Amino acid sequence: MKDLNETNNPYCDDKVIDACSIFGMMNTTGERFSGECVIRAIANMHVRGNGLGGGFAIYGIYPEYAGCYAFHIMYLSREGKSEVEDFLKDRFRFMTAEEVPTRRTQKIVNPPLVWRYFLEVDQQKCNGQPQDDYVMDRVMEINTRIKDAFVFSSGKDMAVFKGVGYPEEIAEYFCLEEYEGYLWTAHGRFPTNTPGWWGGAHPFSILDWTVVHNGEISSYGINRRYLEGFGYHCTMQTDTEVIAYAVDLLVRKHGLPMEIVAKILAPPFWDDIERCPEDEQKLFRTLRQVYGSLLLNGPFTVIIANHGEMIGFTDRIRLRPLTAGVKDSVLYLSSEESAIRLICPDLDQAWIPMGGEPVVGSLERPIVSKGVTIAERNEAPC
């Protein structure tokens, strides 16, 4: 494991108390839109963060390279870059490599190098492994073995931009107003227990998965050990990382639908299970028994995204906030309703889902929220 002391806690801020801001916006028709409104929305929750982390995930961003794995990699030194590039050249077909465009701003100090690579996998090099598994293993190798290099994202037609700063500053730095996507998630950070550094900003990502998170995963240790058994190595020093790997394992490798994943990460209480119909009891008991080590304990709200899908939910007793909104085919998820209203004042519906109950936006089907408490009933004007 490489030494991270240099990047550790450069602001000496190791214990502060506030909240992060998270925001997600998806057009379920797949129509792409500029990030301008997402940037305004996350900036509206400026006071929730403290400038020690901001980031965005964008899906549908690179249609011209839709078939390639788009690697966004952060380098803390030139040596890291050349070592990674040698590593990648041996293992992938290079389509394009370029520095991620940035603009000089006063707010972003001492930024690392960030490059992006559009890569194809040579089937012969996989040795029979599925391509996604091959790519995941290479990401883990870079993160754990090569000094001064961290993979921000590695999926197809998607990308993560993140760093130390307020999210609107990160957006300005990476010129995000120039990109389009059909699904955006955003995060403003207030680091609590782990350092504010570029790799520790959200979203966390593996392959097509991204996670933005508000809260604290007190089960991090047990989740991490469980995931290590499946080849996932946590290197970003932040609890949220385990969620990205957990959904990759559960959905991509184990083939479970997102609604079930939500019931693994935030399972119903045993008392509630006992009051369920018999077949559901059996299901929930089985999930808790098989995947007990992936239960996320502690307060959290997450927005998890994948190609064609965005899902938001909180812990079971909702110790962190989440509001959902819908306007036509667009689903909004946010820490605060005001951020949604700012960019869409005339929502069709705005509601607050029950703790642990997922709100799902998908390209495949209508927007789902099981157990809606507000939207179905609230016909009155807001």
Q: Which is nearer to another protein, 152 or 313 (CB)?
A: 313
Q: Is 127 left (phi over 0), alpha (psi -120 to 50) or beta?
A: left
First to last CA, the chain: 53
Q: Which is nearer to another protein, 60 or 325 (CB)?
A: 325
Contacts of 89 (CB under 8 A, 6+ apart): none
- How many CB atoms are closer than 10 A to CB 370? 12
Whether the CB-CB separation of 202 and 193 falls below 8 Å is answered with no
Please report, as a single letter, which amino acid is at residue 330.
V
Could you tell me which stretch among 67-75, 134-142, 250-258, 331-339 binds another protein (CB under 8 A)?
A: 331-339
Among 184, 336, 344, 367, contact with another protein (rule: CB under 8 A): 336
- Counting contacts by CB under 8 A, is residue 299 touching another protein? no
CB of 339 to another protein, least distance (A): 6
Could you tell me which stretch among 30-38, 43-51, 73-81, 195-203 binds another protein (CB under 8 A)?
A: 43-51
380 forms beta bridges with: none
Could you tell me which stretch among 88-96, 247-255, 359-367, 370-378 binds another protein (CB under 8 A)?
A: 370-378
Among 323, 330, 333, 369, contact with another protein (rule: CB under 8 A): 323
Could you tell me which stretch among 88-96, 155-163, 302-310, 350-358 binds another protein (CB under 8 A)?
A: 350-358
Among 241, 337, 360, 367, contact with another protein (rule: CB under 8 A): 337
Among 85, 354, 362, 368, contact with another protein (rule: CB under 8 A): 354
Give, as ranges, the residues between 101 and 140 that touch another protein (CB under 8 A): none
* Helix 278-290 vs helix 258-265: crossing angle, to nearest 10: 70
Q: Which is nearer to another protein, 200 or 267 (CB)?
A: 267
Cα-based distances in Å from 41 to 26, 168, 274:
13, 9, 41
What is the three-class DSSP state of 228? helix
Contacts of 12 (CB under 8 A, 6+ apart): none
- Counting contacts by CB under 8 A, is residue 4 touching another protein? no
Among 170, 304, 339, 344, contact with another protein (rule: CB under 8 A): 339
The beta strand positions in the chain, using DSSP E, are: 21-27, 33-34, 54-59, 69-75, 93-99, 113-120, 149-153, 158-163, 180-181, 183-188, 204-206, 209-215, 300-306, 309-314, 323-327, 330-334, 349-351, 359-362, 368-369
The verdict on whether 344 is a catalytic residue reads: no
300 forms beta bridges with: 215
- Counting contacts by CB under 8 A, is residue 270 touching another protein? no
Active site amino acids: 20
Instruction: Write out the residues near another protein by the rule CB under 8 A.
Output: 44-45, 47, 271, 275, 317-318, 321, 323, 336-339, 341-342, 350-352, 354-355, 371, 373-374, 377-378, 380-382
